[in-house]
Amino acid sequence: MVSQLPAQSAHLVKLAPSGQLAVAVVSNLQRSRSSSGRRGLVSILLSSDLGTYIRRLLARVAEKACAILRPYLGLGYREVSVSPDMADRLAVLSRKTLVLDLDETLVHSCYLDPDTHDNVGCSQLPDHAQPDYVLNVSIDPMVEPIVFRVFKRPHVDEFLDCVSKWYDLVIYTASLEVYATQVVDLLDAGQGRMSRRFYRQHCRASSPLVSKDLSLVTPDMTGVLIIDNSPYAYRDFPDNAVPIKTFIYDPDDTELLKLLPFLDALRFTKDVRSILGRRVIRQHDNRSTISSHR
Ligand SMILES: [Mg+2]
């Protein structure tokens, strides 16, 4: 009976379990040679659970293939060996500290709010988006853990590999420690590159958003810089800031790659503020971007 559910009976097919539907599709492929039959099969596939699964699988495969092929298509970062003169220069400079924001800089996360049942941070994600990590985070032991879906920014692994060779890395996030520590552990993959971490409790409470206190990281402001998508985060240390565009979901995002040549060069400066302090931020630009950042 199932094999007779073809084309014209899409409404019946929707009621069939996926396994039966697969049988129907195979049978139809074998029996139907007419163009209308083929159109019917396409219609069945697109409107069924199996079709949804196939579309998501293909989208996932395409994303992975693009990630693998990008270096061969001209994207990536080519490191060159440091000349003897520059090596001497590095030797007399202290190794600098690179402070990294987490959410919307390295990753984007969304979750189901247990109280309101709202999907927080999910509205701008396409249906086929598949998270890199799924975390159960227990914020309140009296309440069910919250499930976070975490999406890595494209090229974040290559970025961390490069900058960890040049700088001491520090994570500084306004997020809760119980959530952030799980995400950073997964990003670090046991390599110990991001063992120094600062969380929400280390932020300055300033209205309307919190800011980050780089003096907690190091007393030496000549050798510390912060990459953060939120201008509020570095409002007290603008001469140590490297802004970055907010990341939600974009498989073609290359913002982290774009920063690598600049970060590679900046480690040779005596005082990062002599470079970063040259940037003039218009107050209007600052205000207009703050509302969409966290
Ligand atoms: Mg952020």
Domain-ending residue, one of 14, 32, 66: 66
59 and 109 part of one domain: no
Gap from CA of 175 to ligand 1 centroid (Å): 9
| Whole-prediction pTM | 0.72
Q: Are residues 204 and 127 in the same domain?
A: yes
Kindly give the distance from the C-alpha atom of residue 104 to the centroid of ligand 1, in angstroms, as a whole number: 5
* pLDDT score at 212: 97
Mean pLDDT along residues 9-14: 30
Which residues, at least 6 apart from 242, have a Cβ–Cβ distance to it below 8 Å?
A: 225, 226, 227, 228, 259, 262, 263, 276
pLDDT at 1 over 80: no
204 in a domain, yes or no? yes
Please give the average per-residue pLDDT across 110-133, as a whole number. Answer: 88
Ligand 1: centre distance to CA 105 (Å): 5
Rounded to the nearest angstrom, the distance between the alpha carbon of 197 and the centre of ligand 1 is: 14
Query: How many domains in the chain?
Result: 2
88-101 core/surface letters (b: 16 or more CB in 10 A; e: else):
eeeeeeeebbbbbb
Are 52 and 165 in the same domain? no
Q: Are residues 95 and 59 in the same domain?
A: no
Residues 35 and 120 both lie in one domain? no
Question: Are 206 and 130 in a shared domain?
Answer: yes
Percent of the chain with pLDDT over 70: 73
Q: Which of 88, 101, 188, 228 is an active site residue?
A: 101
Identify whether 263 is part of a domain: yes
Backbone angles phi, psi at 246, to 5 degrees: -65, 135
- Residues 246-263: pLDDT tens digits? 999 999 999 999 999 999
pLDDT-derived band at 149 (thresholds 50, 70, 90) equals very high
For residues 70 and 155, which has the higher predicted lDDT (pLDDT)? Answer: 155
Q: How far is the CA of 45 from the centre of ligand 1 (A)?
A: 40
User: Does the residue 77 lie in any domain?
Assistant: no
Residues surrounding ion ligand 1 at CB below 5 Å: 101, 103-104, 229
The CA 109 to ligand 1 mean position distance, Å, reads 11
Q: In the annotation, is 185 catalytic?
A: no
| Residue 135 lies in domain | 88-290
103, 140, 161, 285: the catalytic one is 103
Does some domain include residue 83? no
Domain boundary among 11, 34, 66: 66
**151 shares its domain with 16:** no
Kindly state whether residues 195 and 279 are assigned to the same domain: yes
More confident position, 245 or 74? 245
Question: 168 an active-site residue?
Answer: no
Long-range interactions of 258-267: CB distance < 8 A, separation 24+: 259/159, 259/227, 260/77, 260/159, 260/162, 260/163, 261/77, 263/98, 263/162, 263/163, 263/166, 263/167, 264/79, 264/162, 264/166, 266/96, 266/225, 267/90, 267/93, 267/96, 267/166, 267/167
| Ligand 1 center to 252 CA (angstroms) | 19
Quick check: 184 pLDDT over 90? yes
pLDDT digits (tens, 9 = 90+) for 204-246: 987 678 899 999 999 999 999 999 999 999 999 999 999 999 9
Report residue 284's pLDDT band, with 50, 70 and 90 as the boundaries: very low
